[in-house]
């Protein structure tokens, strides 16, 4: 048996205990899943315009590659008003052309086509889901950011990387 050169063995009892805790924690999270919170935000065409928020609540559960996200975002002013709306996600959406990651969303203070319903659509290889309006005829259109509003939603997708904390 060969041991990889990158594997470092603990030299003392406390290091051994810590190594075992870390190894088993990672294994337990992979099997049982892990949960965490994040601060969701909305974005339009200019990623520098984050807006002013009165509430940013986000939770996610990750088991293996599957990520479930729940969020509520309320803003009182947004400089990107009038551009296509995206909501941030805690993990990058796995890129695929075959599967659309679709989620549900409720909105308050946001205008969209009469008779349409809003959905979240994961944007592949990004940390975002776009908010789109779907009509009964199957047409899909962008929803624009309003100066004030609230979004609450859920989306399930295959995640591929954690968002790096700044």
Domain locations along the chain: 35-162
CB under 8 Å to 39, separation ≥6 — which residues?
56, 58
Separation between Cα atoms, residue 61 and residue 67, nearest integer Å:
6
For the segment 7-28, what is each residue's pLDDT rounded down to a tens digit?
Answer: 556 666 777 677 766 777 667 6
CA 27 to chain centre: 23
Highest-pLDDT range among 35-49, 55-69, 79-93:
55-69
pTM: 0.77
């Amino acid at each position: 048996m060969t041991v990889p050169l990158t594997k470092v063995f603990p030299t003392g009892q406390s290091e051994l205990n810590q190594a075992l805790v870390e190894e088993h924690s990672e294994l337990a999270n992979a099997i049982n899943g892990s949960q965490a919170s994040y601060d969701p935000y909305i974005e339009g065409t200019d990623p520098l315009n984050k807006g002013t928020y009165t509430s940013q609540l986000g939770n996610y559960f990750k088991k293996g590659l599957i990520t479930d996200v729940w969020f509520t975002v309320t803003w009182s002013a947004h400089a990107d008003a009038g551009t296509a709306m995206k909501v941030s996600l805690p993990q990058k959406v796995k890129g695929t052309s075959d599967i659309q990651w679709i989620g549900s969303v409720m909105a308050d203070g946001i205008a969209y086509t009469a008779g349409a319903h809003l959905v979240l659509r994961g944007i592949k290889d990004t940390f975002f889901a776009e908010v789109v309006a779907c009509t009964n005829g199957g047409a899909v259109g962008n929803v624009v950011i309003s100066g004030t509003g609230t979004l609450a939603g859920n989306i399930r997708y295959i995640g591929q990387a954690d968002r790096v904390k700044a």
